[in-house]
Structure 1
Amino acid sequence: MKRLFPFPLGMTLSALLLPASPASADDLLSPDRRDRKDIRGDAPAEPAFLGPWGVFNAQKGQASGWGPVDSYAQARWSEDWSGVKLSSRPNDVFDRLKRIPLSSDGTVTLTLNGEERLRGYYDSHPALGTRRPGRAFRVLLRSLYGADLQVGTHVRLYAELANGTAGGSNYYGYDGYQRSRLDLQQGFLELRQTLFGSHAGVMIGRQYFLDAPPYVLSVRDLPNIPQSWNGIRGYAFWHRFRLDTFGFLRTDPKPQGVFANRADWHTRLFGVYGSYALPQMAFMPAKSSVFADVFYYGYLYRGAASATASASGVQLGATRRDTVGTRLWGTLGPYEISLGALYQGGVFHPENATSRPIRAYAINGSVTRSFAGVIGKPAVGVQVDLFSGGDASGRTVRTYAAPYYNAPFYNDVTTYMGPQNALSAGPVGRWTPIKGISVRVHVPVFWRASTRDALYGTNQIYPLDRSAGRLTGVLPQAGVSLALNRHLTWSHDFAAFCGSAAWHRAGARDGQFYMQTLDFRF
């Protein structure tokens, strides 16, 4: 079993990054956390079910590559209930569904989870008024139920079912991501083993993938059915370094019918992600937790998502994009930082036309300062994002693309403004006035990066006069989340697009957006 997952760099990385005693790494990354304290000190990990990932449990678990963890995790299989004392919450009936023993010695356990989410949208002028009808009100209801079977410390089987229904008035754009009959949302086998001094594993099957900066890709959680992938993923965690490799086919939710979803062989994601946790530093005077990441993502896709602007309008075709990037991020005393740069190469194959090379880039940065001594621990900062654009009439495609959807709460909850040919900058802030209530604010101003390129929404090219000015408009956004208890969250998101005079003349319309979400999880 020790050579079940032969990572070729393991010996070298182990020698460079581990402490002198190999046993210390096993202690820090042991999959059984019942009798140990968290690596960060004497206090247990918060939330309690963060996995055995040591320093990579920082940033609410996002540094591990498994996605965010709050009351529960976004990817429910990333929750590690082995270190949670369920007896400390005797009145919570749902805790009886966690870590159910299936063997006399307790080495085989079953953990059940579920979610019911009701979401309503109001959109006065969808997609800057280019999509009809206006004053759309959409209602979405999704159900997600999963089962996590743990066999010892080396084997896991995870399965999750999903169902989505949608309705409303003047609604638009409903497809398999909104309406989906009962289907397998996730289903994979995970094998884990100590390898070359690391906590390593491989996941085979249908699964979520969240190991990316928020401006690169996400699980597309705004609609009912999140994006899942079919393939294989291998990972390894050392003391201060982790490595993730993956190759996936997108799950296509559009076929209607029970268990009708299939892997889309024309839409692929593959690559490698590496992250190094910089040593602790004292700074103003709090400790720091900073990560230096490098990554490569390969995209293969076609259809509407691959469309690019041309001199005559829009070109459809197929695309391969090779994205290489780096990111420095984390907490530096009272500051939260995220500084990233990406380069995109590849080739675009238009329908019935000569192939076009791709040369694009993106630069993303945010700096936020928190004030621990103020009521509600407010944090204020600034966020700047540049996604390249180019001359639509040129042979080379210079428009950056994020075909697999960046996180909507990162820059634009409305999805009006896509991460293509766009420059945005504006203040960000958050505040927790009382326990259970959190407020966030973002007010980005948008410009076109190139006036010779089109105006883009999320996976769409607006049919508007491209001769309009560089300034697009401002899109103030605010969100309020109320954690009513451990299981129930009620959130409200508000946004308004205020276009420039030039884009009003080009046909864009101002719009108001409101989204209300009632989310129950166990």
Structure 2
Amino acid sequence: MIRVSLMSSALLAPALLAAAPARAQAGGGKAAPATPIASEYPAAGIGEGTAQGKYNVSRWAEDWRAMADADQRDDPLDRLKFLPLTEDGKVYVTLSGEIRYRVQATTNPDLRDREAQRQERLRVFAGADLHLGEHVRVFGELAKARVDGVNLGTPAGNLRNALTLSQGFGEVYGTIGGASVGVRAGRQEFSDGPNLLTSVRDDPTLHFVLDGVRAYARGKRVRADLFDLRYVNYGQQGLSDDRTDGGRRFSGVTFGYALPGEVLGGSKLFFDPFVWRLRNRAATSNGSVAREERLFYGLHLYGDAGPVTLDWTVNHQRGTFGDRPIRAWQAFVAQTYRLGAAASAPRVGVHLDYASGGGSYDGGTLRTASGLYGNNIYYSYQLFLTPTNLMSVSPNVSFTPVKRLRVTGEYTMAWRATEKDAVYRASGAAFAGTQDVAGKRIADLIRVQAIWAVTPRVSVTGRYEHLIAKDALTRAGYHSSDFLAAWLSLRF
């Protein structure tokens, strides 16, 4: 879903920080018509991707039909956005692509006193969106991931992959009783929820994708999305070794309500209750492996109210891990304030986050909250924090010192919710030994990022982070760490 200003305040994704203000539908053109799959329900609240300027992180969420008009094209690549296959233009294909090259260095990897790690990451995406008339589409995307460097360890399949079908789905859509309805089936990105719980995870070279079905119905002010999805395990060789993980199943329903614009004296706010279930046949906790059923009951309020952009979430998690009950809570409260009328005006903000912990090491009720597959760089590109057994306060500021350059800074202070549980990293794994030491303070983090939008297709990003380890880490033998990165992104 499109949450440009707020998410930039939290330094969620580099391209997001340079994005233009949210608009009805991501895509090129000076006056793109309404997308054929959109209803009157505002596109900013339908849970399909995140705007990055005139592009979307989920490329199938873009609408490029305006490129049928030669006067709307700015360069030869715009011609690739609308290639008619019939004379009337009702059957057409949109091509998309991305190349991203990133170099990054991390001192004290894994927060241990050891040689620094250097990674050189290459991403190549190539996609095609085939529209077969007004009610059918087929989208496919191939991807390649490469990583080189020093002290790499064993790279995962989302960092090193010779070739993968990153997405491949069919969709049937139309209108029933004035509502826009549709069904999408196949391998797809799914980010219809709070960013800390569902995300495409743009930090790794390959996005996080799932296999399954999503169905939706959208009216003028209300919507409902139902889904039944399974995780995907990336291999590293080619198309044949990226398999559906039948052991992890994510399903549920998200409802949406677009609040009237009169609320708070003129606003664009959305309220999304959700009920989800995650089933994992081989979940782990403190070395134990068991079947886990975890239900998420949540409320999500987000959008703009004048100069304020907000994103608030609360959710309760319950279920079972083997024969042990699960009872956990999370609350994410983020907001920014725009200091001026222009979209490029400076913003100041703060996000306050809480995620319960406890029970992992005493055999009782599990109170460790799950971050599902949320944005794993929300707290740190070093991947050292996650919304499990965590309390954090993060004031931030973003500004544009010169045209096309956006700078964002943030200072995070993090504590454990309970000293009786470990500190957890973005993968969900515990920092070994932290459960046995006293001290609530985890770390302070200083983060600065600058994005230069050279053109709408080309951006250059620089980022620096410094993690200052505190008692909960240092008493278990962990150290402070620095992260420095630069990357070049090319899109069409």
The letter for the 2-side match of 1:148 is D
Q: Which residue of 2 aligns with 1:378?
A: 346
Contact 2:440 2:471 in 1 (8 A): no
Contact 1:127 1:457 in 2 (8 A): no
State the 1:425 CA deviation: 0.8
SS at match of 2:192: coil
Of 117, 126, 137 in structure 1, the residue corresponding to residue 100 of structure 2 is 117
Q: Which residue of 2 aligns with 1:292?
A: 271
Q: Which residue of 2 aligns with 1:57?
A: 43
Q: Which residue of 2 aligns with 1:343?
A: 316
Q: What whole-Å deviation, never above 9, does each CA across 1:356-397 have from its counterpart, x for those lacking one?
A: 111111011012111115894011111100010014304110
**Does residue 92 of structure 1 match 2:65?**
no
State the 1:208 CA deviation: 0.7
Query: Unaligned 5+ residue runs, structure 1?
Result: 1-37, 350-354
State the 1:454 CA deviation: 0.9
Of 271, 289, 296 in structure 1, the residue corresponding to residue 252 of structure 2 is 271
**Does residue 402 of structure 1 match 2:371?**
yes
The letter for the 2-side match of 1:461 is A
**Does residue 135 of structure 1 match 2:103?**
no
Alpha-carbon distance change, 434 to 241 in structure 1, aligned in 2, over 3 angstroms: farther
Q: Which residue of 1 aligns with 2:191?
A: 210
Q: TM-score, normalized by length of structure 1?
A: 0.84
Residues 173-212 of structure 1 mapped to structure 2, 5 A cutoff: 173-212=154-193
| d(CA) in 2 for partners of 1:209, 1:197 | 25
Residues 452-491 of structure 1 mapped to structure 2, 5 A cutoff: 452-458=420-426, 459-466=428-435, 467-491=437-461
Alpha-carbon distance change, 209 to 513 in structure 1, aligned in 2, over 3 angstroms: same
Q: What whole-Å deviation, never above 9, does each CA across 1:336-362 have from its counterpart, x for those lacking one?
A: 12221101111113xxxxx21111110
State the 1:244 CA deviation: 0.8
| d(CA) in 2 for partners of 1:376, 1:154 | 38
- The farther-off stretch of 183-192 and 388-397 is 388-397
| d(CA) in 2 for partners of 1:50, 1:75 | 18
| d(CA) in 1 for partners of 2:248, 2:207 | 16
| d(CA) in 1 for partners of 2:368, 2:343 | 44
Q: Which residue of 2 aligns with 1:144?
A: 125
State the 1:469 CA deviation: 0.2
SS at match of 1:457: coil
Residues 187-336 of structure 1 mapped to structure 2, 5 A cutoff: 187-254=168-235, 256-281=237-262, 287-301=266-280, 303=282, 306-309=283-286, 314-336=287-309
The letter for the 2-side match of 1:402 is G
Alpha-carbon distance change, 46 to 412 in structure 1, aligned in 2, over 3 angstroms: farther
State the 1:414 CA deviation: 2.1
Of 372, 380, 387 in structure 2, the residue corresponding to residue 412 of structure 1 is 380
Contact 2:182 2:217 in 1 (8 A): yes
| d(CA) in 2 for partners of 1:175, 1:409 | 17
SS at match of 1:95: helix
Q: Which residue of 2 aligns with 1:424?
A: 392
SS at match of 2:79: helix
State the 1:320 CA deviation: 1.8
The letter for the 2-side match of 1:515 is A
Of 160, 163, 166 in structure 1, the residue corresponding to residue 147 of structure 2 is 166
**Does residue 69 of structure 1 match 2:51?**
yes
| d(CA) in 1 for partners of 2:47, 2:131 | 21
State the 1:518 CA deviation: 1.0
The letter for the 2-side match of 1:139 is E
| d(CA) in 1 for partners of 2:184, 2:49 | 16
| Percent identical | 31
| d(CA) in 2 for partners of 1:378, 1:484 | 20
SS at match of 2:475: helix
Contact 1:120 1:517 in 2 (8 A): yes
What number of residue pairs does the alignment pair up?
A: 462
Contact 1:343 1:360 in 2 (8 A): yes
Q: Which residue of 1 aligns with 2:6?
A: none
Alpha-carbon distance change, 419 to 201 in structure 1, aligned in 2, over 3 angstroms: same
- The farther-off stretch of 448-457 and 428-437 is 428-437
| d(CA) in 2 for partners of 1:455, 1:254 | 29
State the 1:196 CA deviation: 2.4
Greater CA radius of gyration, 1 or 2? 1
SS at match of 2:365: coil
- Structure 1 vs Structure 2 CA RMSD: 2.3
SS at match of 1:455: coil
The letter for the 2-side match of 1:477 is R
Alpha-carbon distance change, 45 to 429 in structure 1, aligned in 2, over 3 angstroms: farther
State the 1:477 CA deviation: 1.3
State the 1:291 CA deviation: 0.8
State the 1:80 CA deviation: 1.0
Residues 19-30 of structure 1 mapped to structure 2, 5 A cutoff: none
Residues 101-116 of structure 1 mapped to structure 2, 5 A cutoff: 101-116=84-99
Alpha-carbon distance change, 361 to 116 in structure 1, aligned in 2, over 3 angstroms: same
Q: Which residue of 2 aligns with 1:441?
A: 409
| d(CA) in 1 for partners of 2:73, 2:23 | 28
The letter for the 2-side match of 1:512 is D
Larger relative contact order (CA 8 Å, sep ≥ 6): 2
Alpha-carbon distance change, 50 to 326 in structure 1, aligned in 2, over 3 angstroms: farther
Q: Which residue of 2 aligns with 1:11?
A: none
SS at match of 1:77: helix
The letter for the 2-side match of 1:293 is D
